[in-house]
Amino acid sequence: MKILITAGPTREYLDDVRFLSNASSGKMGYALAEAAVAAGHGVVLVSGPVALEPPAGAEFHSVETTGQMHEACLRSFPGCDGVIGAAAVCDYRPRERFAGKLAKTGGPLVVDFVETVDILADLGWQKEHRWIVGFALESQNARNNALRKLGAKNCNAIVLNHPQAIGSESNRVELIDRTGKTAATWNAGKAEIARSLITWIESEFGPR
Ligand code: C5P
């Protein structure tokens, strides 16, 4: 199979030197890319800024903003069999990006934020024969939120995990299939979870 994987955080700039982002390390997405390459799959890794080396053998696209990640995914998706959305994409961006560096005024600064494009949902609604696996990082109403995202993004499965996953070497996840059933639960290192998820994807969506 040829698998598109998104990884890491995105950045949304307020001006030319300041941005909104999050603490995603990219470890889960890179572990998935590594596991998919090791299993003999073609991999396109689209990643926000992280301190990790992309695995040898993967086609690598380095991006910063959600818009850039979206464009890179739209270009690669038609040539892939499916996508795993492991990126921690910013949900909001400042409405305006100011040129240069905003100066202090002595008063409060009010910034208007607008929603970013939902990359996975966009791919999900144009997937045709391709499969979509999302991640959902949830702190409350976790399973219900994951089920809502599974439907809203037209995913074939969603991996529910929790804020403790951020920056950690390990993870505790529930894999939920498109019917809402628990397909697996894994509590292990991210490399092991990545191998298990790739094996599950092969059995569900691979050539028979
Ligand atoms: O941020 P959210 O909880 O909605 O993320 C769920 C899934 O959707 C993840 O797989 C994430 O990579 C993806 N996503 C995306 N574009 C966004 C927001 C989330 O691809 N703007």
Residue type, 1: M
Mean pLDDT of the chain: 96
**Which residue has the least CA distance to atom 2 on ligand 1?**
136
Which residue is listed with tokens 């809502």? 148
**Which tens digits make up the pLDDT trace of 26-51?**
999 999 999 999 999 999 999 999 99
**Which residue has the least CA distance to atom 9 on ligand 1?**
135
Cα 58–Cα 59–Cα 65 angle in degrees, nearest 5:
115
| Positions marked active-site | 22
Domains of the chain: 2-94+112-205 (3.40.50.10300)
**Which tens digits make up the pLDDT trace of 163-172?**
888 878 888 9
- 80: Cβ–Cβ under 8 A, 6 or more apart, which residues? 2, 3, 4, 42, 44, 130
Concatenating the DSSP letter of every residue in 36-85 gives HHHTT-EEEEEE-S-S-PPPTTSEEEE--SHHHHHHHHHHHGGGSSEEEE
Confidence of residue 25 (pLDDT cuts 50, 70, 90): very high
Contact between 119 and 84 under an 8 Å Cβ cutoff? The reply is no
Q: Which of 30, 74, 89 to mutate to test the pocket of ligand 1 (most atoms within 8 A of CB)?
A: 89
* Ligand 1: centre distance to CA 88 (Å): 7
102 secondary structure, DSSP code: P
